[in-house]
Homo-oligomer: A and B are copies of this chain.
C-alpha cells in the first residue's frame, strides 16, 4: 500500500509513456462499463478519449468545441450530458476549483480522490484519498454529520513547475 505509492506514482506529474497510459485507462474503463452494465456510448467514450489526451482538466465548452469539430452536436447539453455520465460513474472527476473535468487515471473508480491541481502547468494529479476520507468522516461524525460525498482539492505546484520556480511549465 505504502509501497504501491512508490511504485505507481501519479503519472500526471512525471514523464511517462502517455499513449500507453491512455490506452490502459481506456481499456479499464471499457471493462468497467461492461461489467457494470453501463453504456459507454460513442460520444461518452469520445469525451473520455479527449480528456485522456493529456493530464489537464478541460472545461465543458472546450470539450464541446472538440466534439462539434468532429461532427457531433454543437450544443452545451451534448458535452454536459456526457461529462455528467462520466463523472457520475467515476470515469472523470469534476474539478470544482476550475469548473472543469479531468479523466480519472486510477484503477478503481470508487472512493473520492485527492485532486492535486498545478497552478502553473494546469495538470491535475490524483492521490488515493481513502485514509483522508475516513478521517474526515470521523471528524464529521463526531458532530453528528454524515458524509455522503467528499471533495478534496489542493492547489499548488507540481514537481516540475516547482523546479521552474513556479513560473509555469
Interface stretch, picked from A24-32, A49-57, A69-77, A145-153, is A145-153
Over the window 1-30 of chain A, the binary record of Cβ atoms lying under 8 Å from chain B Cβ atoms (1 yes, 0 no) is: 000010001100100000000000000000
Flag whether A102 is at the interface (Cβ < 8 A).
no
Question: Across the interface, do B10 and A143 meet the contact criterion of CB distance under 8 Å?
Answer: yes
Flag whether A165 is at the interface (Cβ < 8 A).
no
Given A97-B151, A162-B146, answer yes or no on A156-B140 (Cβ-Cβ < 8 Å). yes
Question: Across the interface, do A114 and B140 meet the contact criterion of CB distance under 8 Å?
Answer: yes
Flag whether A119 is at the interface (Cβ < 8 A).
yes
Contacts of A136 in B (CB 8 A): 114, 132, 152, 154
Q: How many subunits of this chain does the assembly comprise?
A: 2
Contacts of A150 in B (CB 8 A): 152-155
Contacts of A97 in B (CB 8 A): 96, 151
Inter-chain CA distance A101–B12, complex, in Å, is: 31
Taking CB as reference atom, which chain B residue is nearest A135? B132
Contacts of A42 in B (CB 8 A): none
Taking CB as reference atom, which chain B residue is nearest A160? B144
Contacts of A139 in B (CB 8 A): 114, 127, 132
Flag whether A116 is at the interface (Cβ < 8 A).
yes
Inter-chain CA distance A10–B118, complex, in Å, is: 32
Question: Across the interface, do A156 and B151 meet the contact criterion of CB distance under 8 Å?
Answer: no
